[in-house]
Amino acid sequence: MAGETMRGRMEVLATKMQETICAAAEAIEGAPFTRDPWTRPEGGGGLSCVMQDGSVFEKAGVNVSAVHGTLDREAARAMGGGREAGEETLRFFAAGLSVVVHPRNPMAPTAHCNYRYFERGDEGHPAAWWFGGGSDLTPAYLCEEDARHFHGTLKAACDGHDGAFYPRFKAWCDDYFFLPHRGERRGIGGIFFDDLHDRDPGDLFAFVEACARAFVPSYFPLVERHKEEPYTPAQKRWQALRRGRYAEFNLLYDRGTLFGLRTGGRAESILMSLPLEARWEYAHEPAGGSEEERLLHVLKTPRSWA
């Protein structure tokens, strides 16, 4: 029965959180998501919920998936914690929730969260298992009050399980969402973890659940705060430039994107994280002393927010 194994519990959590997050976004937008169920020929499937060209949300995606099959050896080596199972254990299961929200107003930040569970081997007796995920904020314009609220909400979720989690996973997030060819982070961070299997799986599941439930209160109040602020065409262009950086990271470095494409995942669902519009201007530099330059300074030198 679904829910009895860790596989089932993670599927149930992802589905419940998808419903919760979609309802929160729909209440702000005043319009529903398009719901697109899909199946994977190799095994499993999911539900992709996408909102596009809204008055508040330019593009938003809330996906759940639960897939299984057999890895090729390159994918097995890149899978993370599965290395412990040995390359000969190529059967896998992966379930999770993936959320990316790109608001229309450049004063409202983009946000992402992803929480997932992996197994290598047989159900009920996996050769390896682990959790991964996190949540991070990507503003085009820095609002320190937003940053403190977002990080503070995640810290509270972490502190309910281990006081060492937030500082550890905040630093990991700053390191992970890094564009080495730009020398800057994708955004102002949050938390990130992977290959997490260092204690009882039930305890780690409870931690992941708390973090997933923190997404709505950490993020949607920020959208409400900024959704009707005035902005200029120049500020909209800057937002598009920042979304270009977002696309660069997801296509070049994001492990989830690369793993999904390597294992024959559904491209439309995997790439729903990309913004509807992005921009690349040759050798663009913001004016000295501008709000745009202020953001870049924080992206190059991460700060403590909570």
pLDDT in tens, 72-98: 777 666 665 545 555 567 888 999 999
Q: What is the mean pLDDT of the chain?
A: 93
Cα pseudo-dihedral 191, 192, 195, 200, rounded to 10: 20
Residue 1 lies inside a defined structural domain of this protein: no
Domain tally for the chain?
A: 1
Residue 118 lies inside a defined structural domain of this protein: yes
Q: What is the pLDDT of residue 81?
A: 56
Mean pLDDT of 105-117: 97
Could you tell me the CA-to-CA distances from 62 to 23, 49, 93, 101 in Å, in that order? 11, 5, 20, 8
* Distance between CA atoms of residues 235 and 103, nearest Å: 13
Cross-strand pairs, 132: 116
CATH number for position 229: 3.40.1500.10
Residue 305 lies inside a defined structural domain of this protein: no
Mean pLDDT of 181-186: 96
Tokens describing residue 242: 């920042």
* Distance between CA atoms of residues 2 and 253, nearest Å: 33
Could you report the per-residue pLDDT of 189-223, keeping only the tens digit for each?
A: 999 999 999 999 999 999 999 999 999 999 999 99
* DSSP result, 15-39: HHHHHHHHHHHHHHHTSPPEEEEEE
Tell me which of 102, 112, 161, 226 is the catalytic residue.
112
Q: Reply yes or no on whether 226 is catalytic.
A: no
Residue 25 lies inside a defined structural domain of this protein: yes
* Distance between CA atoms of residues 92 and 71, nearest Å: 7
Maximum CA pair distance of the chain?
60
Q: Per-residue confidence at 69, pLDDT binned at 50, 70, 90?
A: confident
Residue 306 lies inside a defined structural domain of this protein: no
pLDDT of residue 3 exceeding 60, the answer is no
Residue 144 lies inside a defined structural domain of this protein: yes
Could you report the per-residue pLDDT of 139-152, keeping only the tens digit for each?
A: 999 999 999 999 99
Q: What is the pLDDT of residue 86?
A: 59
Could you report the per-residue pLDDT of 48-65, keeping only the tens digit for each?
A: 999 999 999 999 999 999
Q: What is the pTM of this model?
A: 0.94
Residue 17 lies inside a defined structural domain of this protein: yes
> Domain span at residue 34?
6-300
